[in-house]
A and B are shown apart, each in its own frame.
Chain A
């Protein structure tokens, strides 16, 4: 198990290096030049060239990459070309917001998807199954920005039940920063006000982000569980007289979770990229909105750093999924 973990972690390094190189090359292939925008309104060509030299943008791309790599290895993402702030600090400030949203969406998608998928498999071909099929296909097809705006209309504007935007009401002091996840920090500091407020703010963006994933997990659970239910040992258990829920709940379901779990691992990556849209609409101060800003202003360093951070998270989550699979399926666990 430990060996597996070390091997997987070592494998992450070349993957990240490749990711960084690819992103770097792609960014530099676009003839974007932030120097002109930085120089200000009426800068002359000479003033722009001076800034370009300052930033080292006139050096060969290979040298630029190597010096950037050296910087990153020392844990320094550089400063944002625009805000002049350390990018590492900006990312640390925003990462918890995205992680909190993603985790909540993942919980919605996993718990909801497995529950619905199980129900659909148990009562397959019933009206409930058909309804779920309809909803899940719609869930896969629906554009998240449309769903987001519709949810805002219904729950924030018409009914007034849930907040429209943000992580907390404007002006409310966030809980003391321990993890940066407002819900967790609220619980740790026993602050009921911020806990309730942050949960309410999480509801709509979390649901929007989760919806497509929930549909995927439900579909996979349903088909996988249906397949498992065809097995001989299920027929045996049934013949012996196990109650139906007893057959499904621990035995069949546990054996059917391998492929939905794989999906959940993939979903996590999808959620982090999907957060770009959801964060924009719900005004969620996370990495997604930071990335969009960085791309629009050609802030190279910030774009690279966010790509790297998302890459690391993605790799770690996939390793975690493999480990969980080992726990669920001892056959896989033995090989780890």
Chain B
């Protein structure tokens, strides 16, 4: 007995020793951890949880686009809304009843069919959880008004007409209702379970066994995806998404071939390095993400339009874009990205002009605005560009005799303070990213006074004419009229200098030359793996 035991132990020890030797050999080879032809490492930021109806931020788009499908989806740049799980839709003349026809034969990852009931459940779940994507629907859609007249038709009855409804469709991932329902605990809509598991139909399946929140998300190709794989001869079988927190490590990992793509916010000073290195390049794409310096229009001296104009003239736009960002951004003079309809083609906005700034400040002073007050500008500590923009403004304002103090802050802290006029900072800096591609996402929610108290409307801007234009555009079904309304509203808020709009983002993703088929879209920033392949 003891002899057998020791025999087997010896064998295992020998095997162990052999594998040590093997590993040693493998490790001292040149290719440490490089992915094979069908494995890719994607080093972008990961969402904080995996329930697509709870977490809703930019990193979530990567996960949603690959693991889940939606009724409509944005593709390409500028983004085009394409029928995805739906084959098309009909709207009633009053804009209240929307009917979507579903594609036949769509399979979930567990092999069951995707039907209208799953769509109904998904929308009701979003409305019931009231998190993340829900805010785009809550004001005009009740859960009981989402119905399934037949297995391939979904019907929505809105309380009031809402023109951007279709553009908001990609916000909702369609879940496998039976699977999620079976994991519901205490009426949580299965959220605890779905935070670490999936119930989707997307082009990739998620491997729950290896999941480490905000660190490791492994995905495998779903061969039965409804789009098929005919348009991609060599799709990637396994995608390892890894969140590498430190910028310098992420770039080094790209350069030594450990990862095939970084996030899409490569710092400007690293572009040259990645471009000139062998085997890597930078994918640059103009996105729809506008950087804004917010001004609290409700607090003196910011309640004075001339003071706001003074600051708008004092910001060195070209200096910031050309020198600090090394040209990797596009000047955007208004709240709507210039590449989107609704932004007037002839909109000039403000230029860096200290004489005009001085004149505007003098005018503000003569109107009684307390322009000598020390004002605060809050930046986001983890985003260096917000600090740099604040410093550019601070330096110029000092020359005009204005006193601006920079206060480092965090996103959670900032958004938490926007509930009232008094707690909202004098100024703060952020970007408005693309969640749905409609001017409503920018100007509509930023300057309609009904949104006061949300961070998007944190300038506390009030103008009855603008409210009227934005509300008309929100409910109209006439595209040309909507465009005209948004253009008019843009001209007014720009004339009144509600905020300082700086630039539209050019997204830069460091990528391995091996990656082919990269299709950038402002929604998801090109992180849709379905079209990608790897070459040698």
Contact = CB atoms under 8 A, between A and B. Distances in A.
A34 B415 CA distance: 8
Given A33-B417, A171-B240, A283-B245, A164 B453 contact: no
Nearest to B51: A84
A64 to B, nearest CB: 16
Contact of B452 (A35, A45, A164): A45
Contacts of A41: 56, 132, 135-136, 435, 445, 456
Contacts of B84: none
Contacts of B135: 39-44, 47
B213 A85 contact: yes
Interface in A13-63: 30-45, 47-48, 50-51
Nearest to B138: A47
A61 B456 CA distance: 28
A65 interface: no
Contact of A164 (B13, B138, B256, B417): B256
Interface in B176-192: 191-192
Contacts of B56: 40-41
B423 interface: yes
Given A45-B419, A281-B246, A193 B35 contact: no
Which of B51, B213, B255, B423 is the most central at the interface, judged by chain A CB atoms within 10 Å of its CB?
B213
A15 B412 CA distance: 30
Nearest to A195: B20
Contacts of A101: none
A30 B17 CA distance: 55
A76 to B, nearest CB: 13
Contacts of B130: 39, 47, 50-51
B196 A85 contact: yes
A215 B313 CA distance: 54
A170 B191 contact: no
A37 B195 contact: no
B49 A83 contact: yes
Contacts of B30: 160
Interface in A191-226: 191-193, 195-197, 200
Interface stretch (A132-140, A292-300, A326-334): A292-300
B488 interface: no
A170 B253 CA distance: 11
A50 B135 CA distance: 12
B244 interface: yes
A293 to B, nearest CB: 6
A137 to B, nearest CB: 26
B5 interface: no
A45 B195 contact: no
A78 to B, nearest CB: 12
Contacts of B20: 192-193, 195-196
A82 interface: yes
Nearest to B244: A283
Contacts of B50: 83
Contacts of A33: 412-413, 415-417, 419
Interface in A143-184: 149, 152-153, 156-157, 160, 163-166, 169-171
Interface in B116-161: 130-136, 138-139
Contacts of A190: 12-13, 15-16
Given A84-B51, A193-B22, A171 B456 contact: no
Nearest to A44: B454
Contacts of A193: 19-20, 22-23
B331 interface: no
B199 interface: no
B212 interface: yes
A282 B456 CA distance: 36
A184 to B, nearest CB: 14
Nearest to B24: A196
Given A39-B135, A283-B245, A84 B49 contact: yes
Given A42-B454, A48-B453, A156-B256, A83 B23 contact: no
Interface of A: 30-45, 47-48, 50-51, 79-80, 82-85, 90, 93-94, 149, 152-153, 156-157, 160, 163-166, 169-171, 190-193, 195-197, 200, 280-283, 285, 289, 292-293, 295-298
Q: Closest 3 interchain pairs by CB?
A: A33-B416, A45-B453, A298-B412
29 contacts: A33-B419, A36-B415, A36-B416, A40-B131, A41-B132, A41-B135, A45-B453, A47-B130, A50-B130, A80-B48, A82-B55, A83-B49, A83-B50, A83-B214, A84-B191, A94-B212, A152-B252, A163-B32, A164-B252, A170-B240, A171-B41, A191-B19, A196-B20, A282-B249, A283-B244, A293-B48, A296-B382, A297-B48, A297-B411
Given A30-B413, A200-B27, 10 more contacts: A35-B416, A47-B134, A50-B130, A90-B213, A152-B252, A164-B256, A165-B258, A170-B41, A171-B41, A289-B245
